[in-house]
Amino acid sequence: MRGNILIKELLANGLRWLYTTVWLLTLAFVLVFAVETAEAASKPVGLAELALYRSGDRTQVLIEGAKREGQLTFYNSLTSLAAAAQAFEKKYPFIKVSIWRSDSTMLIKRVSEEHASGRFLADVVETSGAAMALLHRTGVFQEYYSPEVSAYSDEVKAKGKSGVYYLADRENYTSLGFNTNLITPAEAPKTYRDLLDPKWKGRMSLAGTSTGVHWVGNVLNVMGREYLDKFAAQDVNLQNMSAVALAGLVVSGEVPLSPTTQDSNIFTARKSGAPVEWRPLEPVVANLGSAGMTAKAPHPHAALLFLDYLLSKEGQKVLIDQGLSTPREDIGSLEHKFKKTYLESKYSLEEFDKKFNEWEQLLRQLFLRKR
């Protein structure tokens, strides 16, 4: 009898233990399922949501997605950007970057045609600020978020409601370049007023391309029309060539000095031992190159990861090593902490087009000599 009671008690205890175990396992399963469901629900769905995703696991989400994508197509207008792409590949060896490069005019044409036809090849586009503005007007770019954006001033951002459509990742500056075999740093002009010294008459040249047009616009805004008339009386030569070609004439000494010389060209020439210097006459024209993700990027995770890298301190230092300057406010040398003018962000696209035409006419009127 006693034995039967013990058996019943054991069976009852066993059943209670079994019920408790099943209940705990069920509860655990429900909790795990709920957590997994909540996590899945919090993950970005679709390109637009991914582009603006801000949660703490953002980088891991991008890395996991980029591993699946395995590649990235990067359209740009600058040879130096290849170094950033190579450094990115080294940091993320599971991503292969394919580069297509051309000048801004050809890049606009190709991206616009692809966008219109529904053939979406480019993930990231990087070119001049004016070209990016034109593409943005046709809806090419996806608004995106990057934790690096806060390190840049609003002057270099095309802002959206929650992020940016594109952001400047590089800048170079147009100001005074001179040949040190012909002009010592001590005697070279230090201000716009110094350019009016009679000793520089007939010794200066301007670039006849957009570089010269921007310079005229900046000087007109800062110094006024009367100054430009006085400067034109210095027998300034208008050279129908790019800033790069004009910098070559400064290097050779054919042109002793030019206020339309870009610092990056002088940086490259000096690395090769050329007798040249570059000096900022404030405010300096800052020329921007900006980057954005296309609205139908085939590899969005890799695109966002690349933009994060390009805008980061690490990526910006790669570009600095290539002779470019950074618009990022928490890095850069003291010698580049001078006053700058961002002409293209100063006006709307329509206003800038109108201003550019006016400046170009003034450039021709004042400096194009009749033969």
Do 271 and 358 fall into the same domain? yes
What length is written for the chain? Answer: 371
d(CA 173, CA 368): 24
Q: Is 255 helix (H, G, I), strand (E, B) or coil?
A: coil
134, 89, 88: which is closest to 111 by C-alpha?
A: 134
Q: Radius of gyration of the chain from Cα atoms?
A: 29
Q: What is the DSSP string of 298-339?
A: SSHHHHHHHHHHHHSHHHHHHHHHTT-B--BTT-S-GGG-S-
Compare 190 and 40 and report the one with higher pLDDT.
190
Q: Does 17 fall in a domain?
A: no
Domain count of the fold of the chain = 2
Contact 63, 309 (CB under 8 A): no
Structural domain of residue 192, as residue ranges?
173-286+352-367
When the pLDDT of each residue in the chain is averaged and rounded to a whole number, the result is: 88
List, for residues 59-69, the tens digit of each pLDDT value: 999 999 999 99
CATH number for the domain harbouring residue 51: 3.40.190.10
Q: What is the mean pLDDT of residues 50-56?
A: 97
| pLDDT on residue 8 | 54
Do 192 and 80 fall into the same domain? no
Do 298 and 164 fall into the same domain? yes
| pLDDT on residue 350 | 86
**Phi/psi of residue 272, nearest 5 degrees:** -90, 5
Q: What is the DSSP string of 94-140?
A: T-EEEEEE--HHHHHHHHHHHHHHT----SEEEEEHHHHHHHHHTT-
116, 139, 134, 145: which is closest to 51 by C-alpha?
A: 145
pLDDT at 178 over 50: yes
pLDDT at 37 over 60: no
Do 156 and 65 fall into the same domain? yes
Q: Does 347 fall in a domain?
A: no
